[in-house]
Amino acid sequence: MAMAKIIDGKKIAEELLKSVRADAEKLNAEGTKPCLAVIIAGENPASKVYVRNKKLTCERVGIRSLEFALPEETTQAELLALVEKLNNDPSVHGILCQHPLPGHLDERKVFDAISPSKDVDAFHPITVGRVVIGNAALLPCTPAGVMEMLRHEGISVPGKRCVVIGRSNIVGKPMALMLLAADGTVTVCHSKTVNLKELTLQADILVCAAGIRGLVTADMIKPGAAVIDVSINRDGEGKLCGDVDFNAALNVAGAITPVPGGVGPMTIAMLMRNTILSCKLQVTGCNLG
């Protein structure tokens, strides 16, 4: 059997960022500088890397970025006051609060406080509801990035058996909803699923987002399937890897995303696209609340 096509997320993301940059330039020329505000609380090293990458990408595409790095001991009230201030600031078009927050803070309350018009991570219940209904303007970045990859690679979804491993609010659940909206026949697997292999073997499109290295072995993949590995884990040597046994899966899958260089870059590109979209909507006076 032929080797799987390796889907180059970095390259697809670069193409997306080019069009984002053109949009940002146009908005700028018309007198609006698109602006993303990023809130980070505490000292989580992975969060710091993500926030830094988001900031650098903003700079590259001509989006102004504001970073609010709050100390570990920040209170819920202080955090909510900052969100309120950013909600009311017309020069800010997108707001995101980097997940996870320190344990004493209620992340859900913060996501709920972000104005739906500026909800570029798409975590607000109104935005989530629109994703369920299938008419959201702002889509959750990681699953939207996966859909964009499938589109780019010409992998059609209608009628396909899609299996999503993971049911988190950030990845698994919205991923399943978006595949469903695209007319896939969707199965969601999670930590209590019995006989995962029996289900994954049916998948024409397999999205892996459990965050467990080595969970998906080559014998769990249907020959020719598209395998999208969302997870970011570390292997024994500290190198980044996903859930899928990548090298072995290459001999079975039809197409596969690497980690790193797969879904990760797409997520940031979709965040930039959402920021431009929320900026455009605000300029035209469209209120998503």
- Of the candidates 138, 179, 181, the residue with the CA atom closest to the CA atom of residue 162: 179
Q: Tell me how far the alpha carbon of residue 143 is from its chain's centroid.
A: 5
Residues 160-189 that bind ligand NAD (CB under 6 A): 165-168, 170-172, 189
Q: Does 230 bind ligand NAD (CB under 6 A)?
A: yes
Q: Which range binds ligand NAD by CB under 6 A, 62-70, 151-159, 211-219, 270-278?
A: 211-219
Q: Does 70 bind ligand NAD (CB under 6 A)?
A: no
Q: Which residue lies nearer to ligand NAD by CB, 48 or 280? A: 48
| Minimum distance from residue 160 beta carbon to ligand NAD (Å) | 20
| Minimum distance from residue 187 beta carbon to ligand NAD (Å) | 11
Q: Does 211 bind ligand NAD (CB under 6 A)?
A: yes
| Minimum distance from residue 252 beta carbon to ligand NAD (Å) | 19
199 in the Ramachandran plot: left (φ > 0), alpha (ψ -120 to 50) or beta?
alpha
The amino acid that residue 137 corresponds to is A
- Spatial distance between the Cα atoms of 184 and 162, rounded to a whole number of angstroms: 6
Backbone angles phi, psi at 124, to 5 degrees: -70, 145
| Minimum distance from residue 270 beta carbon to ligand NAD (Å) | 9
| Minimum distance from residue 267 beta carbon to ligand NAD (Å) | 3
Catalytic: 121? yes
Burial class, 43, CB count within 10 angstroms (exposed 0-12 / middle 13-18 / buried 19+): exposed
Q: Which residue lies nearer to ligand NAD by CB, 27 or 215? A: 215
Q: Which range binds ligand NAD by CB under 6 A, 53-61, 159-167, 216-224, 276-284?
A: 159-167
Is-cis flag, bond preceding 125, omega within 30?
no
Q: Which residue lies nearer to ligand NAD by CB, 143 or 282? A: 143
Q: Does 221 bind ligand NAD (CB under 6 A)?
A: no
- Spatial distance between the Cα atoms of 219 and 225, rounded to a whole number of angstroms: 12
**Long-range contacts for 47-53 (Cβ within 8 Å, ≥24 apart)?**
47/98, 47/99, 47/100, 50/98, 51/98, 53/268
Residue of 23, 98, 204, 282 marked catalytic: 98
Residue of 23, 119, 121, 245 marked catalytic: 121
Residues 191-210 that bind ligand NAD (CB under 6 A): 191, 193, 196, 209-210
Q: What sign does the CA torsion over 107, 98, 143, 251 have?
A: negative
- Spatial distance between the Cα atoms of 164 and 156, rounded to a whole number of angstroms: 16
Out of 110, 113, 263, 288, the only residue in the binding site for ligand NAD (CB under 6 A) is 263
Q: Does 101 bind ligand NAD (CB under 6 A)?
A: no
212 within 8 A of 231, measured Cβ to Cβ: yes
Q: Which residue lies nearer to ligand NAD by CB, 177 or 230? A: 230
Catalytic: 89? no
Catalytic: 8? no
| Minimum distance from residue 112 beta carbon to ligand NAD (Å) | 18
| Site residues (vs ligand NAD, CB under 6 A) | 142, 165-168, 170-172, 189-191, 193, 196, 209-212, 215, 230-233, 263-264, 267
Residues that are catalytic: 54, 98, 121
